[in-house]
Chains A and B, each alone.
Chain A
Amino acid sequence: ETGVTQSPTHLIKTRGQQVTLRCSSQSGHNTVSWYQQALGQGPQFIFQYYREEENGRGNFPPRFSGLQFPNYSSELNVNALELDDSALYLCASSPRGFNTGELFFGEGSRLTVL
């Protein structure tokens, strides 16, 4: 286990609703990244947070937003849910400047939009 925890593990929403997903990073890791993984695909980068500010964003619309807190934990918010938002949402943490390709992933939050 990596020490990255996510909640909730599973949730079901309906189209148009809003969802908040939470992530606690591994101790000492000050950078948090969020990924969306659709069934049968690889994780897609949503955005990264460092020092409580967004520090890079992938090809996702503004209805995907996030926060990082002083203890480095993070939230992912998705507004106006669409059916295609159904996916596994993964949080990954790493220390800033960590000079390897290693990310520490949580188990993910599986979102189903009906």
Chain B
Amino acid sequence: GQSLEQPSEVTAVEGAIVQINCTYQTSGFYGLSWYQQHDGGAPTFLSYNALDGLEETGRFSSFLSRSDSYGYLLLQELQMKDSASYFCAVRPSNNTNAGKSTFGDGTTLTVKP
């Protein structure tokens, strides 16, 4: 089976840094992705880690530790528009693309002025 655990809610102020954690227990693991979803919108891809370590993309960074079955998304210089839900997702194996990913239930980030 597959399960991913994320905090349900996180609140931070504009300009701050926030970390959203994700722990996973999956029968297969090839990589961890992060997606952002605004209310009523499509999930949009933010970052992907197949190897241990940090991946940086602008204000967003993602980290993976395969030995700990753990990853996180780091958002820096928070802006009001970052208020959204954030999902981690596991790509189960190498013999397929990400289309069979398992998603966590998401973390709702609220950014306050």
Determine the residue in chain B with the shortest Cβ distance to A41: B105
How distant is the Cα of A43 from the Cα of B98 in the complex, in angstroms?
Answer: 13
From residue 68 to 113 of chain B, which have CB atoms closer than 8 A to chain A? 87, 89, 91, 96-106
In contact, A101 and B103 (Cβ under 8 angstroms): no
Q: Please name all residues of chain A whose beta carbon is closer than 8 Å to the beta carbon of B49 when the two chains form the complex.
A: 101
Partner pick for A102 among B42, B45, B100, CB 8 A cutoff: B45
Any chain A CB within 8 A of the CB of B58?
A: no
A105/B98 in contact, CB under 8 A: no
Do most interface residues of chain A lie in helix, strand or loop, or is the interface mixed? Answer: loop
Residues of A within 8 A of B97 (CB): 31, 94-99
Count how many chain A residues have C-beta atoms less than 8 Å from C-beta atoms of the other chain.
Answer: 33
Known: A90-B42, A95-B97. A101 touches B33 (CB 8 A): yes
**Contact flags B46-67 to A (C-beta < 8 A → 1, else 0):** 0011100000000000000000
Are A105's CB and B99's CB within 8 A? no
Residues in A neighbouring B50, C-beta threshold 8 A: 101
Q: Which residue of B lies closest to A59 (CB)?
A: B1
Q: Is the CB–CB distance between B105 and A101 below 8 Å?
A: no
Contact assessment for A101 and B91 in the assembled complex, using a CB-CB cutoff below 8 Å: yes
Q: Is A66 an interface residue (CB 8 A)?
A: no
- In the complex, what's the smallest C-beta–C-beta distance from B69 to chain A, in angstroms? 16
Binary per-residue interface labels of chain B (20-34) against chain A in the complex, 1 for a CB within 8 Å, 0 otherwise: 000000000001110
Contact B48 A102 (CB under 8 A): yes
The yes or no answer to B19 lying at the interface (CB within 8 A) is no
> Quick check: is B43 within 8 A (CB to CB) of the other chain?
yes
For residue A2, CB closer than 8 A to chain B, the reply is yes
- For the complex with contacts A4-B42, A45-B100, 7 further pairs of A-B residues with Cβ separation under 8 Å are A41-B106, A101-B32, A101-B50, A102-B98, A103-B33, A103-B35, A103-B101
